[in-house]
Amino acid sequence: EKLFVGDQVLRVTARDEEQIALLRVLGERTELQLDFWRHPARPGLPADLQVPFPCLQEVKTFLESNNISYSVMIEDVQELLDEEKKTMNKSRR
Amino acid sequence: TERSTSTFDFASYHTLDEIYDWLNTLVADHPNLVSKLHIGQSYEKRPLYVLKFSTGGSNRSAIWLDTGIHSREWITQATGVWTANKIVEEYGQDPSVTAILDSMDIFFEIIVNPDGFAFTHSSNRLWRKTRSINAGSPCVGVDPNRNWDAGFGGAGSSSNPCSETYRGPYAHSESEVKSIVDFICGHGSVKSIISIHSYSQMLLYPYGYKTVPAPNHQELNEVAKKAVSDLAAVYGTKYTYGSIADTIYMAGGTSVDWAYDNGVKYSFTFELRDTGRYGFLLPSSQIIPTATETWPALLDIMVHVLEHPY
């Protein structure tokens, strides 16, 4: 079973087309294994980006160095998954 | 195993087997209203089931509902189960549901992508695509909502099998998609398609693969406006609405565009809750509120279809 320990989901808001283009370029870097839960569409609309733990620093540095604003939507994906599984098991019992 | 519609926990997420068992229970409990059709099989040879809600008649016009085309969007399959149960509960009680089913049939595919759904339970909770093997690539799966023959291969879809929006080698390459296409084309009188996704609180209509307004843009917009207003009246959840291309982004190969291009005028796609906290990991405590608020919006669309035959 694939685990997502330490993975975060960042809510990123690009302010113009240039920043959207930067986000798309970021998403194409396959070595980062990023997953856009919501794709960057247009300025002002949030994009949600799941970032594996080992790449968090690099991605956050990229965003900050390009003045792209973001917040952490999910601190630790695995924590939510563990909670979800616990709730399912409880319901089944 | 859940053995009764009255003891089934609608407020919990369930595995594929549990949901498939529940389909049988629903049919057994309401044999004069619900039947289960087997419309094909998935890539990994799981059955593709559609619930048929019908009060009889022949060659009736129909409404198609589906949930779970993207397997990780668990709130949608859960909403599908709740909604299917709601339909049988309300028939004979609610005048709108009764009127709809007295003259039309409803088809409901709750698990469009069973391979992906099973995979989200066993191996990778965040799996979105089908599980078909891509020749020459180590990456598995096709995005079944980029695989339809409507602007196939256009913007917003990828030719890279490792992408989450990989469109597949050709339109309808995925048996999960082809089975629906064959069923709807074979039926010949489907008047509405409502495809349910999560999560960005939107109600969308064609087109996604081009920016020009659909010929019925104004009517679809009016229907969507009323639907989101009635949805918001339940818990205040705010939805946006509009064409896919205008509201989010260009997306080629989607199911609602295929439906619209093939004569299904009332083609809509929902993006259910979340407000930016949980994404695909919406807690199960929100299943019933989500399904409850979605219901009046679904009903608005279905009533409009009933009252505007074509």
For B214-257, the pLDDT digits (tens) are 999 999 999 999 999 999 999 999 999 999 999 998 999 999 99
What is the pLDDT, as a whole number, of residue B183?
98
C-alpha B239/C-alpha B109 separation (Å) is: 24
Evaluate if residue B4 carries a pLDDT over 80: no
Distance CA B60, CA B56 (A): 9
In the prediction, which pLDDT does B7 show?
Answer: 78
pLDDT in tens, A32-57: 999 999 999 889 889 999 999 999 99
Q: What pLDDT, on a 0 to 100 scale, did the predictor assign at position B6?
A: 67
* Torsion-angle region of B42 (φ positive above 0: left; ψ -120 to 50: alpha; else: beta): beta
Q: What is the pLDDT of residue A92?
A: 83
Whole-number Å distance between alpha carbons of B97 and B86: 10
Average pLDDT, chain B: 96
Min Cα separation A38/chain B (Å): 8
Contacting A with CB below 8 Å, chain B residues are 9, 11-14, 122-126, 156, 162, 164, 200, 248-249, 276-281, 283-284
Q: Which residues of chain A have a Cβ shorter than 8 Å from any chain B Cβ?
A: 1-2, 4, 9, 11, 30, 35-39, 41-42, 45-46, 48, 50, 73-74, 77, 80-81, 83-84, 87-88, 91-92
Q: How confident is the model at residue B113 (pLDDT cuts 50, 70, 90)?
A: very high
Check CB contact under 8 Å for A37 and B280: yes
Whether residue B2 is predicted with pLDDT greater than 80 in this model: the reply is no
Q: Quick one: average pLDDT of B18-40? A: 97
The model's confidence at residue B3, banded by pLDDT at 50, 70 and 90, is low
What residues of chain A lie within 8 A of the CB of B200, using their CB? 38
B241: preceding bond cis by omega (within 30 degrees): no
Report residue B202 as tokens: 């939107």
At a CB cut-off of 8 Å and minimum separation 6, what does B156 contact? A39, B146, B165, B208, B209, B249, B250, B251, B252
- Residue type, position B28, single letter: A
Give the residue-averaged pLDDT of A22-28: 93
Residue B275 — pLDDT band, cuts 50, 70, 90?
A: confident
CA distance B124 to chain A (A): 5
Q: Could A74 and B279 be called an inter-chain contact, meaning their C-beta atoms sit closer than 8 Å?
A: yes
- The pLDDT > 70 percentage for chain A reads 100
Please give the single-letter amino acid code of residue B40. G
User: Cβ(B232)–Cβ(B238) under 8 Å?
Assistant: yes
Q: Decide if B286 contacts B273 (C-beta within 8 A).
A: yes
Which among B125, B251, B121, B275 has a CA at the least distance from the CA of B198? B275
Catalytically active residues of B, by annotation: 271
Angle at B257 between CA B253 and CA B258, to 5 degrees: 75
Residue type, B4: S
Distance between CA atoms of residues B163 and B308, nearest Å: 40
Are B126 and B72 in contact by the 8 Å Cβ rule? The answer is yes
